[in-house]
Structure 1
Amino acid sequence: MQYPVAVALAAPVAKLPRGPHWWYEPKYDGHRLIMWRDEDTTRCHSRSGRTTTSAWMDLAVVGQAGLPPGTVLDGEAVVWVDGRLDFSAAQARGHSASRRASGLAAQYPANYIVWDCLMAKNVDLRGHPYTERRAALLDVLADVPPPIQPTPATDDPEVALAWYEHLPAQGIEGVVAKRGSSTYRTARIWQKVRHSETVDAEVIGYVGPAGRPRRAAVLLPDGRRVLSRALTAPVAAEVARLAAESGPGRQARTDDGEAYTTTGSGLVVEVEAGTTRHATVAVMRVR
């Protein structure tokens, strides 16, 4: 297995799937995190493959002390504030520069909620079924203390429905459904039911100064190019990073004729599904 690893994703569905061999997990509002425990070090990266070890050093230290070498985990880094998941705090940490990371870690200590084990004892488990990977995950984390912990999982759809209905107050976004026989692949192999649905879009440009973009130009799944509404500070920082890496862009226009400066590819954001019918979309987060 090569670092960074491409991750499995979930496709949105309107209702919870039922039937034999389905398993369910809560869906968290945080920052996707892959943790690698090598022989000598522990590294972390995001869904996009960007190394984020310095941003989550408190979690990496626990992983280094508790995980056996040859382990790769997939999960979500989350921050609890007053008994509720705080997405903004998790985003601030996940996209923080090294000089700010320690201060943010002290202000917003993180938990790592793990839902998959991709490697154990240097054995690649991605070709194994979910139920076997789940058993390996519980074994790997048996003696690892919080803040690293396995996500709850159930094969009872009524329990999953109770999570969906009663946990939003704690910041749980919904439920992810996984077939017990499914292997781990770089595709939308899982299904997710959320209270607020989003779709993925690719950032293709920006409006405003390259160092402080105000809005993003995005390519929607249906092929339309539109501008976003005003960006939050963490998203603007990531668009600025993309602009810096891409170099000078050219002037282009959206399908509605609005001007923007182009960037390179590679930055995926979640946009609120209900806004995609309009000329501007609401960007929720960087994926």
Structure 2
Amino acid sequence: MPRPGGAPVVKGPVVPPVRVALAEAVHALPRDPGRLAYEPKFDGHRMVLFRGAAGEVVLQARSGRLVTAAFPDLAEAARALPDGTVLDGEVVVWSGGRTDFAAVQGRAAATPGRAPALARRLPASYAAFDVLAADGADLRPAPYVRRRERLEALLSGLGPPIQAVPMTTDPDVARDWFETLPAVGVEGLVVKRLDEPYRAGRRAWRKLRHTDTRDAVVIGFTGPRERPSALVLVLPDDDAPVVSGPLAPRLRAEAGAALRGLPEPVGGGTATAVGVGEVAYRSVPPALEAEVAQGTTRHTVTTVLRLKGGGERGG
């Protein structure tokens, strides 16, 4: 029986939705010779790719939402994978020689009717960094070093748009990546233990970012459009919307001016605001970006530091 939205049912040992492995932030490069692997952390959307035993393809966002219809180019490319393959990775869109997170969010928000045209205009790439299943076998209990070998074997003859992220076990090479790759939109490094299984839903990996601030895409607002109380944001690596903390008076005025330049809001949704719960918001096209900081307390508050320009990319 098809799933809601026409998505096919995937049969096998690893089926959607799955909980993904997560990473805990660190502030210095971990070093443990012979025991750690280092990967660049791309600025995109987390996605699990399923190639079923009967040839079906399903794409799942980190939240568990199925996004196959929004990425027809990646769904078609995934048909070249062997049956029974499940990959974990990051969707990115390249623009001007670097990753463009606003473009990725525009793709993710596309309706099925607009998705094919957006795929032609803003083609997506898939940076695979783990394999959860191959040939119908669940590989999550296997150590990372074995999963990495299998991932490289699976993708060695495939080529773009599905490729394995670079990996090194040399901390000096990783340090070079950390210092040079921000120019192409890499926000840091992910560090994994070579002997560790894939721990779904747990922060077993570590991530080292360049700064404590991040760029997010504005997808909505609360309060009046002329002086919004808060912005609703999508952050890299997570498709679930978050409500920012209350905007400072200066930012309320700036956000109001920026929102006036966008099409009139149509529709909306609900998102979780820290200390408040679920709140309703009005939607806007993913055309505006904001630099944000996130607290490290038990209840993480996302604070908007400044607004950034961005051209409309469609939805």
Is 1:10–2:38 an aligned residue pair? no
Q: Residue 12 of structure 1 contacts residue 197 of structure 1 at CA under 8 Å; is this kept in 2?
A: no
Query: CA separation in 2, counterparts of 1:142 and 1:123?
Result: 19
2:68 is aligned to 53
Which amino acid is 1:49 matched to?
G
Over aligned residue pairs, what C-alpha RMSD do you find?
A: 3.5
Task: Answer whether contact 2:270 2:279 (CA < 8 A) is retained.
Answer: no
- Residue 267 of structure 1 aligns with which residue? none
Map residues 79-158 of structure 1 onto 2, 5 A cutoff. 79-158=93-172
Q: How many angstroms apart in 2 are the aligned matches of 1:3 and 1:279?
A: 30
Shift of 1:169: 0.8
User: 2 CA distance for matches of 1:184 and 1:24?
Assistant: 15
Q: For each residue in 1:166-209, what CA deviation from the matched residue of structure 2 results, as whole angstroms up to 9, or x when unmatched?
A: 1111111111110001111121111111113359xxxxx97238
CA shift digits 1:142-183 (9 cap, x unpaired): 221211100110000000000000111111111111000111
Change (3 A) 1:260 1:37: closer
**CA deviations over 1:51-76 (Å, ceiling 9, x no partner):** 01111110110111x10110000001
Corresponding residue number in structure 1 for 2:303? 281
Change in Cα spacing, 1:79 to 1:279, as seen in structure 2 (3 Å) is closer
Which ranges of structure 2 fall in alignment gaps of 5 or more residues? 1-13, 215-219, 234-243, 260-264, 281-289, 308-315
CA distance in 2, matches of 1:184, 1:280: 28
Shift of 1:86: 0.8
Which residue of structure 1 aligns with residue 246 of structure 2?
Answer: 227
Which position in structure 1 is the counterpart of 2:205?
A: 190
SS in 2 for 1:80: strand
Q: Is the 8 A contact 2:274 2:301 kept in 1?
A: no
- Structure 1 residue matching 2:114: 3-state secondary structure: helix
Q: Indicate conservation of the 8 Å contact 1:217/1:227, yes or no.
A: no
The TM-score with structure 1 as length reference comes to 0.76
| Shift in CA distance, 173/23, structure 1 to aligned 2, threshold 3 Å | same
Q: 1:282 to 1:43 in 2, by over 3 A?
A: same
Q: Percent identity among equivalent residues?
A: 42
User: How has the CA–CA distance of structure 1 residues 215 and 181 changed in structure 2, closer, same or farther, with 3 Å as cutoff?
Assistant: same
Equivalent residue for 1:240?
Answer: 268
Question: Structure 1's 14 and 70: CA in aligned 2 closer, same or farther, altered over 3 A?
Answer: same
SS of 1:26 mapped into structure 2: strand
Q: CA deviation at 1:241?
A: 3.7
2:58 to 40, 43, 59: 43
Q: Deviations over 1:116-156 (max 9, x none)?
A: 00000010011110001001101111221211100110000
SS state at 2:146 partner:
helix
What SS does the corresponding residue of 2:141 show, helix, strand or coil?
coil
Mapped partners of 2:274, 2:195: distance in 1: 43
Aligned mates of 2:157, 2:129 — CA distance in 1: 16
Report how far residue 261 of structure 1 moved: 6.6
Q: Give the Å deviation of 1:226.
A: 3.7
Whether the 8 Å contact between 1:75 and 1:114 is mirrored in structure 2 is yes
Cα separation, partners in 2 of 1:208 and 1:261, compared to 1, 3 Å = farther
Which residue in 2 is equivalent to 1:208? 223
For structure 1, which segment, 156-165 or 51-60, has the greater mean C-alpha deviation from structure 2 after superposition? Answer: 51-60
SS of the counterpart of 1:173?
Answer: strand
Query: Tell me, which stretches of 5 or more residues in structure 1 are unaligned?
Result: 200-204, 219-224, 247-252, 264-269
Q: 1:72 maps to what in 2? A: 86
More helix by share: 1
CA shift in 2, pair 1:127/1:82, >3 Å: same
**Amino acid of the residue matched to residue 132 of structure 1?**
R
Aligned CA distance change for structure 1 residues 164 and 69 (closer, same or farther; 3 Å): same
Q: Deviations over 1:190-233 (max 9, x none)?
A: 1111113359xxxxx97238xxx873589xxxxxx943675999
Distance 2:132 2:213 in 1: 26
Partner amino acid, structure 2, of 1:240: G
